[in-house]
Structure 1
Amino acid sequence: MTPEFVVGFARQAIEITLVISLPMLGVGMIVGIFISVLQAATQIQEMTLTMVPKIVAIFIALLVAFPWIMDKMMTYTTNLFLNLPNYIQ
């Protein structure tokens, strides 16, 4: 194993992790901004008002994106196992 291979392998793992987490993070950010604007407009400063809608929205986004996430993970894992003999050499 060369250092370039290890760096490329780690880069690919980090890249797939970021791509998989993007839908949930995006939904959380959008809901957080919307709730912040709503709080600023109404001057309601309640911490649970920000956390509960974000948790629910992220959970719904996870349920919607789950088939896509599983497809990405299965493709990555399949490629990893199929190329395992090449990695050992």
Structure 2
Amino acid sequence: MLTPEIAVDLVAESLHMVMLLVVMLVVPGLVVGLLVALFQAATQINEQTLSFLPKLLVTLLAVILMGRWMSGYLMDYCVSIFTRAATLVG
């Protein structure tokens, strides 16, 4: 039977998974954006499009490097949810 405690645990686990996957993609782009912003401040180059390409490339590199791990983590979570659902229903 699905109790409120089990439901809260499932939601908390899913939010943790989402935050972890998002952090793996967003943090590298934020770091590169900060470095480009420091470079722009030091050289007084005020080009808005200068930071877009490095952030895009780093985000794509993060997807390439961590994509297999992230998809495996997501599939393990889905298998875990379906296994728990089978025990909760009957």
> What residue is the counterpart of 1:71 in the other structure?
72
TM-score (norm 2): 0.89
Q: For 1:81 and 1:6, how far apart are their aligned partners in 2?
A: 14
User: Could you tell me the percent identity over the aligned residues?
Assistant: 26
Query: Following superposition of structure 1 onto structure 2, how do residues 1-89 of structure 1 map, counting pairs within 5 Å?
Result: 1-89=2-90
TM-score (norm 1): 0.90
Q: How many residue pairs align between the two structures?
A: 89
Q: For 2:46 and 2:79, how far apart are their aligned partners in 1?
A: 48
Deviations 1:31-64 (A, max 9, x none): 0111011000110111111122111111111111
State the 1:87 CA deviation. Answer: 2.5
> Where do 5+ consecutive residues of structure 1 fail to align?
none
RMSD value, Cα? 1.2
Whichever residue aligns with residue 65 of structure 2, its letter is V
> Where do 5+ consecutive residues of structure 2 fail to align?
none
